[in-house]
Amino acid sequence: MKHKEILPICPEQLGGLPTPRLPSRLIHGDGFDVLDGNAKVIDISGADNTNAFIHGAYAVLNLLNQNNITYCYLKGKSPSCGAGTRKHSVLQKYFSSAAMPITGVTAALLLREGYQIEEIK
């Protein structure tokens, strides 16, 4: 990334969640389903963080548009930024599912809007 200009942002923070925060998981679908109102984002205490994740995703979209950004590096295994389905060892302590949808809420919104994304580990 030496020769690239980077805009570091966190959709979960932009959505109003604290740092640090409890781990969250997509329930009943992936980020596309959350955006469509068919799934939720729940943390390990059972708190519903769906609205914060959606708000944060749209805040990211606005920042990308304002800064003419078309390519995004997103954090893997995240309910916001992940792009795929994986086993997630940290969350498996709290949730019974072995494989979880990890196309996160922000990743789904950016893909729908035509952005190029790359998941980084």
Q: What is the pTM for the complete model shown?
A: 0.84
pLDDT tens sequence across 95-119 = 555 555 579 999 999 999 999 988 8
In a domain, 89, yes or no: yes
* Measured distance CA(81)–CA(17) in Å, rounded: 15
Work out the number of other CB atoms within 10 angstroms of the CB of residue 78: 23
* Measured distance CA(109)–CA(54) in Å, rounded: 9
Tokens representing 84?
């795929």
What is the number of structural domains in the chain? 1
Residues near 118 by beta carbon (within 8 Å), at least 6 away in sequence: 71, 72, 73, 74
Tokens representing 58?
């749209």
pLDDT tens sequence across 40-66 = 999 999 999 999 999 999 999 999 999
pLDDT tens sequence across 20-37 = 999 999 999 899 999 999
Domain that holds residue 113: 11-120
